Amino acid sequence: MEMADEIRLTLRTNSQAFLAESVSKAVLAHGEPRQWQFAITTLVQSLELALKAKLEEIHPMFIFENIDDPKHTINITGAIKRLSNPKIGTIHFSETDNKRLHAAIKLRNELTHAESRLNVHHAQNSFCFVFSFVADFFRHHLSTSVNEFLRPADLDQIIQWNAARKELRKRALHRIAEKNIPDQDIRDCPECFETTFVLFDAECACYTCMHHHETVECPRCGTYTYFPEEMISLHDDFDTDLDEGRYVVLNRFGMDYDEVCPECIGDARNEISTARYDDYVEYMQQEAYYSPHR
């Protein structure tokens, strides 16, 4: 039998191939945790190709970043944005979908572009969500069921993981209700992404995956429900200078803190802009006053 000199790889079939490879790596990862890095990277690649396949279905030019200069295909975040455009894809991506997909994309980028540490539980949680999303996307938007191209044994394993996850979430919600924990003390877990991370009684732990995570207080508004990585630095808004290889802050514009929460960043930057303008006006007034006397 002759070997084919060329294999035709459409966006759809390529996405399916990457998904099948991702699932096989995820199954292997339970005995070889290092396989998670390959499971995640190939899964996100499958997602990207599936999104592009849908864009191509709408119009072949939509897979390009610049439709007037079709040289480079659109990246994954651009594909999500274009598909959610009511004038193009009309596909609704919920806030939860966006948050979790971008978290998986960020994890993929860390694994492929920099030295990183991979938390096995975080990897599995990310995998389960993105796999479920891709499977649903294939079914609803590409008229394909994943059981048409995935090995039955591999698919059964993924279904078991998802069933276990749902049971853990169900028990977590029941426990939260039993303890009458108020909504303001509950937020999304950075590890499993379920809305079962509790800031009650100084527990600071997720009732679904038991993940503990440090929380910090915003120095501006006093809200304590933020994770350290969510705080936004004001360093770029200050006036700084380079002195012997290190940055020195010359003007903080009245700010006695270096970072604030996402809710406060807009107001903080507006205050800095106002203070910077006031300093400029004062400087110009002094220049105008002293110039005739020079």
Task: List, for residues 184-204, the tens digit of each pLDDT value.
Answer: 889 888 888 889 999 875 568
Within a domain: 133: yes
Domain assignment of residue 238, given as a range = 232-293
Within a domain: 195: no
Can you tell me the mean pLDDT for 146-155? Answer: 92
H-only helix segments in the chain: 11-29, 36-58, 76-83, 95-113, 120-141, 152-178, 265-290
Within a domain: 216: no
Please provide residue 78's backbone torsions phi and psi, each rounded to the nearest 5 degrees: -65, -35
What would the 3-class secondary structure string for 130-143 be?
HHHHHHHHHHHHCC
Nearest to 37 by CA among 129, 113, 90: 113
Distances (CA, A) of 52 to 57, 126, 175, 246, 276: 8, 21, 41, 44, 45
User: How high is the pLDDT of residue 54?
Assistant: 96
1 pLDDT band, cuts 50/70/90, is: very low
Q: Are residues 129 and 246 in the same domain?
A: no
Within a domain: 1: no
Do 46 and 181 contact (CB within 8 A), yes or no? no
User: How high is the pLDDT of residue 153?
Assistant: 92
Can you tell me the mean pLDDT for 75-85? Answer: 94
User: How high is the pLDDT of residue 57?
Assistant: 95
How many structural domains is the chain composed of?
2
Q: Are residues 42 and 143 in the same domain?
A: yes
Most confident of 30-44, 178-192, 235-249: 30-44
Residue 267 in this model has a pLDDT that exceeds 90: yes
Of 96, 125, 150, the last residue of a domain is 150
Most confident of 105-119, 165-179, 201-215: 165-179
Residue 247 in this model has a pLDDT that exceeds 70: yes
114 pLDDT band, cuts 50/70/90, is: confident
